[in-house]
Structure 1
Amino acid sequence: MGAFETATARRSLLKGLGALAVGTSLPAKAQQLLADPGIELHPLPRVVSKGAWSDLARAMTGDLVLPNDAYFGNYSQVNNLSYSQRPAAIARCVTDADVSACLKWAHNTNTPFAVRSGGHNYAGFSTTSGLLIDMSPMAKIKADGDRVIIGGGAINVAVYRALERMGRTITHGRCEGVGAAGFLLGGGIGFNMRLYGIGSDLLRSTDLMLASGEKVTASATEHAKLLWACQGGGGGNFGVNTSFTLQTFPVSTVTVFILTWSKNQERVLYDLLHRLQEAPPGFGCKISVTPPTPQQRAQGDDIVISVMGQAHQGTPPLKELFGTLLEQADPKRTIEIDMPYWEAQDILAEEALPYFYREQSVFLKTENLTEKAVADMIATARAMPGTSLPSSFKFFQVGGEVNKLKPTDTAFVHRGFDWLFSSEVNWWELRDPPSLVSDNLVWQQQFYDKVRRLTPSGGAYQNFPDPALKDWQSAYYAENYRDLQKVKVEVDPGSLFTFAQAIKPA
């Protein structure tokens, strides 16, 4: 369940640092901001007997993996190490019947569970001390005319390769290890969204295993409200999605670019936000603002602004889109003109290695990003305490087809905006003391609160869940929350599927 994401800043940073770290207790303030999912979401109330585990193993075609079994550590690895938690067992589901058996068993034994495809949930909502339902073996992908059917356990990179063979594409992210299920169920942002809509806008049907163990297909003609709920209602709320059928589009060529600016940051950021917002729908980008780490600051480094993205065939040339900003960019740059689509995506892709992080988000309108507001963002970024790892705040460009739907047309309510803002803090426990992490998380919260006030109706992106968000119901879903509650009553009235920010029945 999970999530899309400075060319060198985010998750590709930890190669060589290793996948695990020794845990250190953070100060109380930081604990409040992170919120421990092991306490709030999936507590294991009692020890499950060996006989009960044996019953589940016999009911499954796939493997039930226990802590002493080979590869248990690999299967239980999370992406956000802030929420590392060892499950009691891992069910490696290979069929719909396996998923049904797991749900019935969890209900009968009163065992908490979580469902995982990629394990990239920012807030740890795909972790548990109970049964981890691992969907990754159910990863088949096949063409169906101009549509693609994606298994509930498939990860992004497998989807990319299948679509490349088809000569087609969808709205997709850049992080190769993210589960397609979490990406789609929470909306799904990517560079194609201004041209085709967000990922869930392309969803035509989905198969689910419900809390009862029953399999249903949600489409425009059957269980239509359930399909509506799966188009942005978030993963882990209504059932286990075992497959997704999406509309695809033919590929041609794109121009890809990665540009940076290390001077005149306030002016550059303001001009980028206002100029690029006017670009046609075939243009998509992400702007990143990366303050120096304390070590870099001591060497005299300052904030770097970067833009990466793509322009589809038929879009005006970059010189026209960027104007004088292109001339002002740093000499080191990447611009590849008219590349085959999927070859170009290899330049934009990133690897998602485990580390510690926290992310917060809000949708913004360009009209609210005044010169004063942008200058204040840069000043605030310069005041960030910083950790041993680079952190950024980012603007994902929305608009275009995303805004052609009404907020209530699907469960994804965030229409009518120009940018999705997100702020990240990254750290590594072996290098960054708890007090420093706490200082950075407090800084982040104050920065986020200030930015949210720029567009009060901006909500928050449900695929970037924030455990500290007190108004998450309205922030993620706004006026759609009541209808999502009604769907919850129909398919899971007893809230078998539950976590800290799960939709509650009406």
Structure 2
Amino acid sequence: MGAFDTATGRRSILKGLGALAVGASLPARAQQMLANPGEELHAQPHLPGKGAWVDLARALKGALVLPDDPFFGDYSRPNNLRYATRPAAVARCSTADDVMACLSWAKKTGTRFSVRSGGHNYAGYSTTHGLLIDMSPMAGVKLVDEKRGLVRISGGTVNSLVYKALERLGRTVTHGRCDGVGAAGFLLGGGIGFNMRLLGIGSDLMRETELVLADGTLVNASADADKDLLWACQGGAGGNFGVNTSFTLETFPVTTVAVFEVHWSLKRDRLEQVLFDLLHRLQGAPDGFGSKISVTVPSRQARAAGTGITISAMGQAHAGIDVPQLFGPLWDEAVKDKYEPSAPYWQAQDILAEETFPYYYREQSTFLRTSDLTLEMVASMLAFADAMPGTCMASAFKFFQVGGAVNNLQPGDTAFVHRGYDWLFSSEVNWWTLKDPPSLVQENLAWQQRFYDDVRARAKGVGAYQNFPDASLKNWQRDYYGENYAKLRAVKTQVDPKSLFTYGQGIQPV
């Protein structure tokens, strides 16, 4: 029994490069399971009988949705189709009482469960064969303290609703770009966005959070009460301490910003210098500047047709920052896909926003300092990109610009330990099972592991971002939480000593 459950079969096939290296020599069926760990290697666990499900349905104010419901697939489908596991039922919780009823029922019947708001967990930790506790009906944003600019976000709210509500209020927070991501997962794992260098990461703005604990009690963690629990929720990742039913955040007035999206399609040797110059020039930008640099590897088909690797940069700059001057000579070489030197804040976010759709992917991340990104290191990264086998979809490696206010806090000030870095590096491999055979997917995942290991070793990468969970990490406790893991275990022991909430990389009690 546990929350954010992932079947043992899915976890075991992602352990290390050894499994990847032998993938091509395995029988076709085994290769398919490796490429698509959503296909289970073991039988489904025991589930309660019909009468127990009737009892749960009667205990809920919201709906209990079964597999024969025409909308069941929409409610249960995760964003990463690698983990498209079918739950036995979906509880559409509309109140905290519904959450309490689900937890009580799961304990009574011994049923596994997971909790979901947006369903974008990269490693599938919001999937289960048992009961899926769907928080999405608990959506809403309310201004609760106008003087302090505090808003309360309900636990099932997705980013797009947060954006619309804050736009009406003329306020903002540090937020992401993807409309369908759940605000709960975003905040509990830290929460990166273009405002973080100015305001701090999303969880730095969290002032209170309401949770249903393993014993069924409803608590409100703040600096005045349960402050260690609030600390743990500021980067300790979802699914560890309870079910968060609301978050209270500090917000800030919006202004106008410059918004940009530019790219470089140049000769190979010039691209190395462009990437090096981007990383070093932008690292020194004022805190009001936020950017993401991407190196995109085209699909196999596009590369065969002559399409090359491109470098792109996107982001925003608050008032007083001259974007073309900041980029310097690189600006003249760039293709300006989008550039508004002065746009209303939320209009600019419409330009930067991204709508995601379900597909198959794997992401790996680590934190870097600019001083370690030498021209030789950048050239090596691009050489790795050249050697990627490729799939029917484009893939990329990216640099999210951190620093600024992110680094104003010390590693132990919140559970989010990753302070003192300039860039969050991530590598993504994307594919589609109808067009990419399992053996090709395995080639690409093996390539990705070699690339990631090389970056961590030669560019001195530290840790990994807990909101980009990677089931193949050997020491995820250190990588996600560093020196904070001991305190996180202590908080876990206090609020969930029997580990009701558990998953493949869940924090364990002492």
Question: TM-score with structure 1 length normalisation?
Answer: 0.92
Confirm whether residue 417 of structure 1 aligns to residue 382 of structure 2.
Answer: no
- For 1:142-221, what aligned pairs fall within 5 Å after superposition? 142-144=142-144, 145=146, 146-221=149-224
1:107, 1:502 → 2: CA distance? 18
1:123-157 CA-to-partner distances (Å, cap 9, x unmatched) read: 00000000000000000211121011000000000
Q: Is the 8 A contact 2:38 2:84 kept in 1?
A: no
Shift of 1:298: 1.6
1:110, 1:282 → 2: CA distance? 50
Shift of 1:483: 0.4
Confirm whether residue 267 of structure 1 aligns to residue 273 of structure 2.
Answer: yes
- Equivalent in the alignment of 1:76: 76
Q: Is the 8 A contact 1:187 1:234 kept in 2?
A: yes
2:78, 2:290 → 1: CA distance? 30
2:406, 2:456 → 1: CA distance? 21
- Equivalent in the alignment of 2:97: 97
Q: Is the 8 A contact 2:205 2:250 kept in 1?
A: yes
2:409, 2:440 → 1: CA distance? 43
- Equivalent in the alignment of 2:11: none
Distance 1:37 1:484, change over 3 A: farther
- Equivalent in the alignment of 2:51: 51
In structure 1, stretches of 5+ residues that fail to align are 3-24
2:393, 2:54 → 1: CA distance? 44
Distance 1:228 1:30, change over 3 A: farther
Q: What is the DSSP-based 3-state SS (H/G/I as helix, E as strand, rest coil) of the residue aligned with 2:284? A: coil
1:313 to 313, 316, 319: 319
Confirm whether residue 495 of structure 1 aligns to residue 493 of structure 2.
Answer: no
Q: Which amino acid aligns with 1:463?
A: N
1:375, 1:167 → 2: CA distance? 44
Distance 1:35 1:109, change over 3 A: same
2:30, 2:316 → 1: CA distance? 43
- For 1:287-366, what aligned pairs fall within 5 Å after superposition? 287-315=293-321, 317-330=322-335, 332-366=336-370
Q: Which amino acid aligns with 1:318?
A: V
Confirm whether residue 223 of structure 1 aligns to residue 229 of structure 2.
Answer: no
Q: What is the DSSP-based 3-state SS (H/G/I as helix, E as strand, rest coil) of the residue aligned with 1:309? A: strand
Shift of 1:350: 0.5
1:313-365 CA-to-partner distances (Å, cap 9, x unmatched) read: 122x11210000001113x5211111000011000001010000000000000
Q: Is the 8 A contact 1:397 1:418 kept in 2?
A: yes
1:393, 1:453 → 2: CA distance? 16
Q: What is the DSSP-based 3-state SS (H/G/I as helix, E as strand, rest coil) of the residue aligned with 1:333? A: strand
1:232-261 CA-to-partner distances (Å, cap 9, x unmatched) read: 000000000000000000001000001100
Shift of 1:454: 3.4
Q: What is the DSSP-based 3-state SS (H/G/I as helix, E as strand, rest coil) of the residue aligned with 2:316? A: strand
1:128, 1:26 → 2: CA distance? 26
1:373, 1:27 → 2: CA distance? 39
Q: Is the 8 A contact 1:78 1:354 kept in 2?
A: yes
2:109, 2:449 → 1: CA distance? 40
- Equivalent in the alignment of 2:258: 255
2:29, 2:162 → 1: CA distance? 41
Q: What is the DSSP-based 3-state SS (H/G/I as helix, E as strand, rest coil) of the residue aligned with 1:453? A: helix
Shift of 1:70: 2.8
1:199, 1:37 → 2: CA distance? 34
Q: What is the DSSP-based 3-state SS (H/G/I as helix, E as strand, rest coil) of the residue aligned with 1:246? A: strand
Confirm whether residue 469 of structure 1 aligns to residue 477 of structure 2.
Answer: no
Number of aligned residues: 480
Shift of 1:45: 2.7
1:184-226 CA-to-partner distances (Å, cap 9, x unmatched) read: 0000000000000000000000000001110000000100000
1:162, 1:288 → 2: CA distance? 30
1:339, 1:94 → 2: CA distance? 37
- Equivalent in the alignment of 2:486: 482
- Equivalent in the alignment of 2:12: none
2:161, 2:207 → 1: CA distance? 20
1:45, 1:55 → 2: CA distance? 20
1:57-110 CA-to-partner distances (Å, cap 9, x unmatched) read: 111111111111231111111100000011000000011110000001101111
- Equivalent in the alignment of 2:292: 286
Q: What is the DSSP-based 3-state SS (H/G/I as helix, E as strand, rest coil) of the residue aligned with 1:487? A: helix
Q: Is the 8 A contact 1:360 1:422 kept in 2?
A: yes
Is 54-63 or 407-416 further displaced after alignment? 54-63
Distance 1:461 1:92, change over 3 A: same
1:191, 1:38 → 2: CA distance? 38
Q: What is the DSSP-based 3-state SS (H/G/I as helix, E as strand, rest coil) of the residue aligned with 1:363? A: strand
Q: Is the 8 A contact 2:298 2:393 kept in 1?
A: no
1:165, 1:36 → 2: CA distance? 40
Q: Is the 8 A contact 2:276 2:378 kept in 1?
A: yes
1:266, 1:405 → 2: CA distance? 33
Shift of 1:47: 2.6
Q: Is the 8 A contact 1:206 1:241 kept in 2?
A: yes
In structure 2, stretches of 5+ residues that fail to align are 5-26
Shift of 1:44: 5.1
Q: Is the 8 A contact 1:34 1:467 kept in 2?
A: no
- Equivalent in the alignment of 1:8: none
2:436, 2:460 → 1: CA distance? 34
Shift of 1:292: 2.3
- Equivalent in the alignment of 2:17: none
Q: Which amino acid aligns with 2:153?
A: I
Confirm whether residue 430 of structure 1 aligns to residue 434 of structure 2.
Answer: yes
2:37, 2:236 → 1: CA distance? 22
- Equivalent in the alignment of 2:14: none
Shift of 1:439: 0.4
2:132, 2:189 → 1: CA distance? 20
Q: Is the 8 A contact 2:47 2:130 kept in 1?
A: no
Q: Which amino acid aligns with 2:222?
A: S
Q: Is the 8 A contact 1:123 1:466 kept in 2?
A: yes
Confirm whether residue 369 of structure 1 aligns to residue 373 of structure 2.
Answer: yes
1:5-45 CA-to-partner distances (Å, cap 9, x unmatched) read: xxxxxxxxxxxxxxxxxxxx9775786688669679xx853
Question: TM-score with structure 2 length normalisation?
Answer: 0.91
Q: What is the DSSP-based 3-state SS (H/G/I as helix, E as strand, rest coil) of the residue aligned with 1:376? A: helix
- Equivalent in the alignment of 2:282: 276
Confirm whether residue 404 of structure 1 aligns to residue 402 of structure 2.
Answer: no
Distance 1:428 1:33, change over 3 A: closer
1:134, 1:479 → 2: CA distance? 32
Q: Is the 8 A contact 2:240 2:507 kept in 1?
A: yes
Confirm whether residue 67 of structure 1 aligns to residue 67 of structure 2.
Answer: yes
Q: Is the 8 A contact 1:363 1:455 kept in 2?
A: no
